[in-house]
Amino acid sequence: MKNKVGFFQKDSTRSVISSLIAIAIGLLVGFIIMLISQPDNALQGISILLTGGFRDGMSSLGNVLYLAVPVMMTGLSVAFAYKMGEFNIGVPGQYVVGAFVGLYVGIKWTFLPNSIAWLVAILLGGIAGAIWAFVPGILKAKCNVNVVISGIMMNYVGLLLVIQGVKSWLYESTGAQSQVISGARAIPNAGLDVIFPDSSANFGFIIACLLCVLAWVIMNKTTFGYELKATGFNKDAAKYAGMNETKNIILALVLAGFFAGCGGAIAYLGGTGKALQISEVLPAEGFNGIPVALLGLSNPIGCIFASLFIAYVNVGGSFVQNIFPIEIVDIITGVIVYFASFTLFIKLMFARRDAKREAKREAEELKARGGEQS
């Protein structure tokens, strides 16, 4: 039992170190880009980037919490499906469909009291995302269609349907975008506006964190979660043990879609004037969930911290724009996020190193025993 506990402690430590190394590499490369672009301002630029989340005090921290929510939920969606061994590239579509349904319910369902309208809108946005993920899930489970292919297809179908839906029901006549949620029906601030004044922080951050905790409980404390991980690790062995692979694939992707849909609804129900654009461009939050899941090592709790890091870098990047052109800032933040995705690779390198050391130690022990016998 002691060895088992030690193994898990060692694996957790290795995971944290891998994430920190990946972040450090990304920051180093970002600094090099600054040096190449504007050598005289590089030190000041990296300093602002690293301290940007605190630059305006609690206001900046509040914006970090606000920006973390969408990528936290899309990262959770990617991580949850990955535990099943599936790559949910359909997150952007699930996210934007959930955003549209959430906005529609929040704006058009006026029969709902303001006190619960936002909650119903988030729930139905999550259900919309779940329905959108059901299609790739059923195609994979019944027809063995690659989830990546069907997910990409559903992304663009969802985006185009949302654009048409905005034009038909939520169009804002003063611009090519949807209407925005009113303050009275938006997600409440729940006192966060007092803690983080002049920021966009709201109760959506608490909801996102609670959903991450819920996902962790499902993964680690339920029979379904055990079957999910077992099937993802070895489908043949799981099937031999009597686990229903078809059911697990569908449920895993549906739940992943639910998380993405909730993320979309929360992002647009925050009362910050955020609107769906009539543009055939998939939301960046959907794709940014991939490095969050990788940096968080597909752990729901890890996704909370990974999303906070990504949001922190983005807030810092907004201040760096005062020194560097916005294109350079986008490249730098993109590179940092990109290298954050190397966490799994670094962890694998540690694992291989430890395996070689263990093999060498066993060989030496075997050689020593042979010498004693002779």
In a domain, 123, yes or no: yes
Looking at residue 11, what is its pLDDT? Answer: 63
Contacts of 313 (CB under 8 A, 6+ apart): 49, 333, 336, 337
| Comparison of pLDDT for 128 and 354, the residue scoring more | 128
- C-alpha–C-alpha distance, residues 145 and 322, integer Å: 48
Query: Does residue 197 belong to any structural domain of this protein?
Result: yes
pLDDT tens sequence across 243-294: 888 899 999 999 999 999 999 999 999 988 899 999 999 999 999 998 899 8
Give the model's pLDDT for residue 13.
74
Would you state the pLDDT for residue 136?
96
Tell me, what's the pLDDT at 89? Answer: 94
Task: Indicate the average pLDDT of the chain.
Answer: 88
- Cβ atoms within 10 Å, residue 220: 13
Specify the 3-state DSSP secondary structure of 271.
coil
pLDDT bracket for residue 7 (50, 70, 90): very low
pLDDT score for 294: 84
Q: What letter represents residue 219's amino acid? A: M
Q: How confident is the model over 119-147, as a mean pLDDT? A: 96
Is residue 317 in a domain? yes
Q: What is the mean pLDDT of residues 164-170?
A: 96
Can you give the pTM of this predicted structure? Answer: 0.89
Q: In this predicted model, what pLDDT tens digit does every residue of 21-67 receive, in sequence order?
A: 888 888 888 889 889 988 999 999 999 888 988 888 899 999 999 99
Least Cα distance to 295 among 256, 362, 345 occurs for 345
Q: What is the pLDDT of residue 4?
A: 43
Interval 216-234 mean pLDDT: 88
Cβ atoms of 212 and 69 closer than 8 Å: no
Q: Quick check: is 231 in a domain? A: yes
d(Cα 211, Cα 68) in Å, to the nearest integer?
A: 14
Give yes or no for residue 345 having a pLDDT over 50.
yes
258 occurs within a structural domain: yes
Domain-located, residue 141: yes
Cα gap 287→334, rounded to integer Å: 12
pLDDT at 329: 81
In a domain, 36, yes or no: no
Looking at per-residue pLDDT, the higher value among 5 and 120 belongs to 120
Please tell me the predicted confidence (pLDDT) of residue 5: 43
Q: What is the mean pLDDT of residues 103-117?
A: 96
pLDDT in tens, 314-335: 899 889 988 888 888 888 878 8
Specify the number of domains making up the chain.
1
Q: What is the pLDDT of residue 3?
A: 46
Tell me what the mean pLDDT of segment 87-92 comes to: 95
Q: Which structure tokens are listed for 127?
A: 């259900």
Provide the CATH number for the domain around residue 93.
1.10.3470
Domain that holds residue 247: 68-321
250 against 15, higher pLDDT: 250
pLDDT bucket at 8, cuts 50 / 70 / 90: very low
